[in-house]
């Protein structure tokens, strides 16, 4: 499977300390990993789709950024026990295996964590508004999306609110914010779609949409979007592992910025509606067909 081999290639490149622009030879990778060239070829193409490599016709693949920047990779697994427990806890709650109310001791037993590790994981979830401490003892999940239908409805809500925000009479582009978010989206195309952990990918993309809506100058629209983003965070984490989709979304985000900066707010609004609808279908249709 290309992502599995790709993860091995990334680790190989990270150890190689190659500079940006270095030639990544197919045979060298195959020899280093002890595998045939066919799966290596697929893995290199996959990494090129994610922006870590650049393909030049008749020449091969070259590093799009220095290998030393490959500091964290999350293709199909997790980096440590706490990160793994974080997502397992979330998945177990979404699938009904973990009740809304629970204790730190239950987390320790269920996920093989020490008390200190469990406290760090739960503190992170608390910072992200996923759980809260119960009065007295224990923890409780906050309101989160747990069904495909609710997930679908969250996108339909956003399809109403976000495109309308672009047509508000007070809509004004924030040039500084646009520059910051344009750079972040461009970095996703240059490899961050692969290198950033799932939580960070969600933050970057959620804050992009919140930034665009904030330009409408309507606090009610912005707060409603922020609330939806808080309660959809857990279910969205599952989709952040689909790295090729992140690349496509970043391309569309950049297109949206271009439309807004051109002053064609009507076209931008239509484009945003189409963008959200396409993402909705990709993320909710598989679970609604069962």
pLDDT tens-place values along the chain, 290 residues long? 455 687 788 878 877 878 889 999 999 998 888 888 888 888 898 888 888 899 999 899 999 888 877 765 554 444 468 878 888 898 888 888 899 999 999 999 999 999 999 999 999 888 888 889 998 789 998 877 677 788 889 999 999 999 999 999 999 999 999 999 999 999 898 888 888 877 788 889 999 999 999 999 999 999 999 988 888 877 787 665 678 888 999 999 999 999 999 999 999 999 999 999 999 998 887 543 33
Contact 86, 124 (CB under 8 A): yes
Residues 175 and 52 placed together within one structural domain of the fold: no
Residues 106 and 125 placed together within one structural domain of the fold: yes
Residues 266 and 177 placed together within one structural domain of the fold: yes
Contact 130, 234 (CB under 8 A): yes
Which residues form the domain of 94?
Answer: 81-141
Give the residues across from 139 on adjacent strands.
102, 133
For residue 1, the model assigns a pLDDT of 43
Task: Please name the residue that has the structure tokens 């606090």.
Answer: 219
Is 76 inside a domain boundary? Answer: no
Structure token pair of residue 218: 């309507």
| Cβ-proximal residues to 187 (8 Å cutoff; 6+ apart), any chain | none
Task: State the total domains in the chain.
Answer: 3
Last residue in a domain, options 141, 157, 189: 141
Last residue in a domain, options 141, 165, 182: 141
Last residue in a domain, options 141, 174, 189: 141
Is 75 inside a domain boundary? Answer: no
**Helices 198-214 + 175-187 axis angle, to 10:** 150
Is 9 inside a domain boundary? Answer: yes
The dihedral over CA atoms of 247, 253, 255, 260, expressed in degrees to the nearest 10, equals: -170
Structure token pair of residue 226: 């922020």
Residues 125 and 198 placed together within one structural domain of the fold: no
């Amino acid at each position: 499977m290309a992502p599995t081999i790709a993860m091995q290639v990334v680790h190989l490149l990270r150890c190689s300390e190659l500079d940006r622009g270095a030639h990544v030879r197919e045979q060298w990778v195959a020899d280093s990993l002890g595998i045939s060239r066919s799966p290596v070829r697929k893995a290199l193409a996959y990494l090129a789709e994610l922006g870590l490599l650049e393909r030049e016709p008749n020449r091969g693949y070259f590093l799009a950024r220095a290998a030393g920047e490959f500091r964290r990779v999350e293709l199909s697994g997790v980096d440590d026990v706490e990160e793994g427990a974080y997502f397992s806890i979330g998945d177990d709650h979404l699938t009904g295996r973990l009740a809304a109310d629970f204790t730190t001791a239950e987390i320790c037993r269920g996920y093989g964590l020490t008390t200190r590790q469990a406290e760090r994981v739960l503190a992170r979830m608390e910072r992200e508004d996923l759980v809260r401490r119960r009065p007295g003892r224990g923890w409780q999940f906050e309101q989160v999306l747990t069904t495909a239908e609710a997930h679908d409805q969250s996108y339909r809500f956003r399809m109403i609110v976000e495109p309308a925000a672009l047509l508000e009479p007070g809509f004004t582009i924030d040039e500084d914010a646009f520059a910051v978010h344009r750079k972040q989206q461009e970095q996703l195309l240059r490899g961050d779609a692969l290198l950033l952990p799932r939580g960070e990918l969600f933050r970057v993309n959620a804050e992009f949409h919140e930034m665009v809506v904030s330009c409408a100058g309507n606090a009610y629209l912005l707060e409603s979007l922020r609330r939806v983003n808080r309660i959809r965070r857990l279910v969205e984490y599952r989709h952040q592992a689909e790295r090729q989709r992140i690349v496509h979304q970043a391309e569309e985000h950049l297109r949206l910025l271009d439309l807004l900066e051109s002053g064609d707010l009507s076209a931008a609004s239509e484009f945003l509606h189409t963008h959200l609808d396409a993402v909705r279908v990709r993320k909710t249709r598989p679970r609604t067909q069962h």
